[in-house]
Structure 1
Amino acid sequence: MIQDLKNSFLSTAFLGLILIVFLMTIFHLHEEVVHFHYLWNLIGISVLMGIVFGIAYPYLWNYSTLKVTSKITISTLLNFFCSVGSVYLFSLNVFGFIKPYLLLFFAITLVGHIIGFYFFSKYENKKIAASLNSSLEH
C-alpha cells in the first residue's frame, strides 16, 4: 500500500507540474521572464495535487474503511482546498476574480463527488460481480 501511494504521489505530482507549466505557457505568453519565486509556487501546486490526487484519493477510495458520507465529505474538502490553494499560488488576480464564487464552487465539487461516487460504486459492483461469476464458472 505504501509503495503504491508513493508511486501514485510521484507520478501525479510530476504530471501536475507538467500541466501547470503548460497552463503557464498558455496564460503567460506576454511575459518573457519567470521569477524564481514563482517556480516554487508551481512546485507547491504540484505537491498539493500529488497529495490530494496521488495519496488521499487512492487511500480513501481503495484502502479506507470509512463510511461513504465520510469519504465524500473528506474528498470534497480536500479537492476544494487543493483547487483554491492552487489557484491562489498560480495567480492572485484569478483568485480575486473567483473569490466571490467559492461557495458555488464548493457546492459543485460536492455534487460532483456524489455523482462520481454513484458511478464508482456501480463500476466496483460490476467488477465484483464479474469476479464472482468467473470464480463460480471454474
Structure 2
Amino acid sequence: MDIIFEADPGMDRSITKVITHPTEKEHWVNIKEAINNTEKKIVVINAKNNRNVQIALSSITVIESKDRMCSVRVITGEVYLLNIRLKFVEDTLNSPRFVKINNQTVINTSYIKEFSSTDNARIEVILTNGSGLLTIFFKDQLIDMLFLWRIAGIAVISAGIFGVMYNALWNHFTLKPIWNILIASTFSILGGMGMIWLFSKDMFHVITPWLPGMLLLSVVLHVIAFYFYAGISSRKKAEELNKILK
C-alpha cells in the first residue's frame, strides 16, 4: 500500500484527513486507532474522582500553575490536574507547540486565534477552544474573563454573610442562641462552599466529602465563639450597671 501526504493550509491543525478507496471503509476504525495511538499523551488527574486519565497533547489549550501542581484545560472545556510544577512542564511535554508566556501559564500555540494590543502596553492573547473561550494576558497573568465574574460573586457572598447575616442575627433578631448558632453555622458553610465552587470547581469536588465534618466543626466553633462573646458582653453590662449604682 502506497502512502501519499498532501498539505492543506486551510485545514485546522488539530484535524488529520485520511482519504481511502470506498472498499477500505471497513478499516477506518483501525486506521483511526492506529493514528491516535501514535500521538503522545500525558497522564493527568480527574479531580472529580481522583483517578488518573490519559489525554492527548493536541487537546490541551492552557496549562496554569496551581501551587505545587498545574491545572490543564483541554479543548472540550474540561479541567484536569497535573502533578508537576509548571517549571517542569515544558520538559515533560517536549513539544514546540507549547510556549511559556509568563511564570504561571503555558499555552498551546495551535489554539492561538490572534494577538492584539491593549491599554498600558499590554498584549491580549485570544485563544479558541471550540467554545469561544476568551482569555487575556494582563499584568503577566492569563485571566479567564468569566473568572472576574466569579470573583465578584465571591465578594457578594462574603458581604452577605459577614456584613449582613451576622449583624442581623446577633444585633437585631431575638432568636434563641441555639438557633443563632445553627443558622450562622449552616450559612457560613454553605456560603463558603459556594465561594469555593466559584473559585475552583475542582477544589469544590475535592472537599465536598468533608462537608459533614466541616459543618460539625463550624457548630462547635460558633458555640465557643458565642460563649466567649457572651461572657465579654455580660461583664461590660455588669460594669455599666455598677457605674449607674454609684
Q: Could you say which structure has the larger radius of gyration?
A: 2
Q: Given the alignment of the two structures, is residue 69 of structure 1 paired with residue 69 of structure 2, yes or no?
A: no
Richer in strand (by share): 2
Greater relative contact order (CA < 8 Å, ≥ 6 in sequence) = 1
Query: What's 2:214 paired with?
Result: 105
Q: Given the alignment of the two structures, is residue 117 of structure 1 paired with residue 191 of structure 2, yes or no?
A: no
What SS does the aligned partner of 1:50 have? helix
CA root-mean-square deviation? 1.7
CA separation in 1, counterparts of 2:187 and 2:162? 9
What SS does the aligned partner of 2:143 have? coil
Shift of 1:35: 1.3
Q: Given the alignment of the two structures, is residue 135 of structure 1 paired with residue 244 of structure 2, yes or no?
A: yes
Query: What's 1:30 paired with?
Result: 104
CA separation in 2, counterparts of 1:128 and 1:64? 19
CA separation in 1, counterparts of 2:153 and 2:209? 24
Instruction: Give unmatched runs, 5+ long, in structure 1.
Output: 1-25
Query: What's 1:94 paired with?
Result: 203
Residues 51-70 of structure 1 deviation map (CA, whole Å, 9 limit, x = unaligned): 11100101101111111111
Percent identity (aligned) = 31
Shift of 1:90: 0.7
Amino acid at match of 2:178: T
Query: What's 1:48 paired with?
Result: 157
Query: What's 1:9 paired with?
Result: none
Instruction: Give unmatched runs, 5+ long, in structure 2.
Output: 1-65, 71-102, 106-140
CA separation in 2, counterparts of 1:40 and 1:131? 48
What SS does the aligned partner of 1:33 have? strand
CA separation in 1, counterparts of 2:149 and 2:210? 27
Query: What's 2:128 paired with?
Result: none
How many pairs align? 112
